[in-house]
Each structure stands twice: as structure tokens, then as C-alpha cells.
Amino acid sequence: MGVRSRSTAGGAQFGLAVAAAVVTLTVPTTAMCAELYVRTAPLVYTTDGTDPTATAGKQANVGDRIMLNSRDECDKWKGIEQTATDSAVDVEYYTDVSG
């Protein structure tokens, strides 16, 4: 079994506002995966490029971590607030080096 490691890809988005309109990520060119942390309010998201709604998609609550395990998921991630309260999300991007 190989060793798996990751390093920052830079371009973190701290306090990304997820509101009533669909939001996407600004993914750095070297990023291959990402970790999102939901700070302030529930949100709904997708990783296949379809637009989420307040009732369609995967729900993430305050304190949840969302792991995006591929460049494809990072590029296609879309989020929207679930309630009338904007959600703040912290996003960190990583390279993925497997050996």
C-alpha cells in the first residue's frame, strides 16, 4: 500500500458566502481536492454540476466538513443556503500526491 499525502494548493476561500443564489468555488489550478467547513447556517450542495435547491441536494449543517475528493468534484461543487440565513463556509484546497 502506498503513502498518501497532500499539500496546500493555496487560494483558500475563508468566509465564502452561500446565499439564495447558487454559488460555485474558485478552484486553484493545482488543486486536486478540497475540504469545506460549514460555519454559520445549513446549506445544500451538489458535486455533479446540477443546481441545488433548498430541498434538492446534500444537506450540510453547521460544524459539518465536506470533503471533495477529486478535481471533478471541486469544479462541479455548487451550494445554496437552505434557510433564509446565509451560510459562511471556509474552503481549503489541496494537491493530492499518492505514492
Q: Which residues of 2-36 are buried (b: 16+ CB within 10 A; e: fewer)?
A: eeeeeeebebebeebebeeebbebebbeebbbbbb
Note the pTM of the prediction, 2 decimals: 0.89
Q: Which CATH class is domain 7-98?
A: mainly beta
pLDDT in tens, 60-82: 999 999 999 999 999 999 999 99
Report yes or no: 43 and 57 within 8 Å, Cβ to Cβ: no
Q: What is the pLDDT of residues 14-36, one digit of tens each?
A: 999 999 999 999 999 999 999 99
Please name the residue ranges forming H helices in 1-99.
71-76
Nearest-angstrom CA–CA distance, 70 and 64 = 19
3-state class (DSSP) for residue 75: helix
